Amino acid sequence: MQIANIKFPSRAVFLAPMEDVTDPIFRLLCKKFGADMVYTEFISADALIRSVKSTERKLEISDAERPVAIQLYGREPDAMAQAARIAEAANPEIIDLNFGCPVKKVAGKGAGAGLLRDIPKMLEITRAVVDAVTIPVTVKTRLGWDNDSKIIVDLAERLQDCGIAALTIHGRTRAQMYTGEADWTLIGEVKNNPRMTIPIIGNGDITCAEKARECFDRYGVDAVMIGRAAIGHPWIFSEIKDYLLQNKIFKITFEEQKDILKQHLIASCNWLDQRRGILHSRRHLAASPTFKGIPDFKQTRIAMLRAENLEELFRIIDNVKTIDN
C-alpha cells in the first residue's frame, strides 16, 4: 500500500489522531508495537497561526515515530493553507485534514464534521491546502452529517478530485458521535468504486485483531485506523499484526501489560513533570483492558486515579493480581 511516495506494508494499521491522547509519548509507544503510521492530536489552524505555544508544541515530532501525519482543523481556506505551511515546516510525511471531529466546540463552529454541512467550503479548504504544501495531503471524515445525508460515496470522489493522496472514513455520521455501531458498508462502497484510485483507510469499532481482519477481508480497505481501542492498550497493534501475518495472537502477559503501562507513565512524567505526567496518563489507566474483569476492582481503580506520585501509583499497580494469580 502506498500514499503518494510513502510505502506501507500490505494491510497497514494506523494510530488515529485523538485529542489529549496521541501525544509524542503515546505515538512512540504505539510505533514500538507496530503501528505503521501515527497521527498527532488535531491542531487548530487558527491557534497555530496565532503562535499559541501549547498548539505549537503539538507540532513536535521525532524521527523514531516516522512516518507521521500532522492533523489540522479549521473552517477557513486561507487560514488552513497558512497553518498547513507552518505544519509542513515541522517536517511530517503527511498533512491530514480533520473533517470528522463531531464535538460541539469544533463541529458547532463549522470546522471538523461541521463541514459536512458545507461541502463547497470543505472542498475549497482541501484545494487550498493541497496547493499550499509540497507534501501529501490526506483527509479524515465521516459518512455524512446524519442518517439522512450519508454522502460519503460522492464526497470521496470530489475530495479525490481536489488532489488528496488518501482518504480515511469513520463509519459513523456526525449525529451518531461515538454511539451505535460503525457502518462499514459505505466504506466498502467507496473502496470498491472503480473511479476511486487513492487508498481508502477504514476507521470505527476495530477493537480486536479479529475485527481488523474482518474489515480487510470484507470491505477491501487498504489500511485500518485504530482509535479508542488503543487507549491504555498500545499493544493492540502487535496483536493485530500477529493475527494478520500468522493467524494467531501472541498475548502479552498480565505482568508485561502492567510494565508497559508503567513505562508509559514514566515517559509521560519525563516529558512533562511528575504531577502533570500522571494526570495526563490517567485516562490510559482507566481505559486499559489490563484491569477489566478483575473482581472488586473499583476501589483499586479509584486509588490508582487518586495517586499523586509514581511511587504510590506503582505500588498499587504492582499489588494488582489477576484471577489466575
For 305, residues 6+ apart whose C-beta sits below 8 A from its C-beta are 282, 285, 286
Asked whether residue 250 carries a pLDDT value surpassing 90, the answer given is no
30 annotated active-site: no
Question: Which residue is catalytic, options 30, 101, 162, 215?
Answer: 101
Nearest Cα to 284, choosing from 299, 304, 255? 304
Cα(266)–Cα(258) distance, rounded to whole angstroms? 12
**What percent of the chain stands above pLDDT 90?**
93
pLDDT in tens, 51-75: 999 999 999 999 999 999 999 999 9
* Residue range 314-318: mean pLDDT, rounded: 95
Whether 301 shows a pLDDT value over 60: the answer reads yes
pLDDT digits (tens, 9 = 90+) for 134-161: 999 999 999 999 999 999 999 999 999 9
pLDDT of 129 above 50: yes
> Which is more confident, 250 or 200?
200
The Cα angle at residue 294 between residues 258 and 291, in degrees rounded to 5: 30
What pLDDT digit, counting tens, does each position of 154-209 carry?
Answer: 999 999 999 999 999 999 999 999 999 999 999 999 999 999 999 999 999 999 99
State pLDDT tens for residues 15-46.
Answer: 999 999 999 999 999 999 999 999 999 999 99
Residue 7 pairs in a beta bridge with: 2
Q: Are 9 and 30 in contact (CB under 8 A)?
A: no
Give the tens place of pLDDT for each residue, 72-104. 999 999 999 999 999 999 999 999 999 999 999
Residue 39 pairs with which residues in a beta bridge?
A: 69
At residue 323, the pLDDT reads 57
Top-level class of domain 2-246 = alpha beta
Burial status of residue 287 (CB atoms within 10 A of its CB: 0-12, 13-18, 19 or more): middle
Query: Does residue 325 have a pLDDT over 80?
Result: no
CA distance 236 to 253: 13
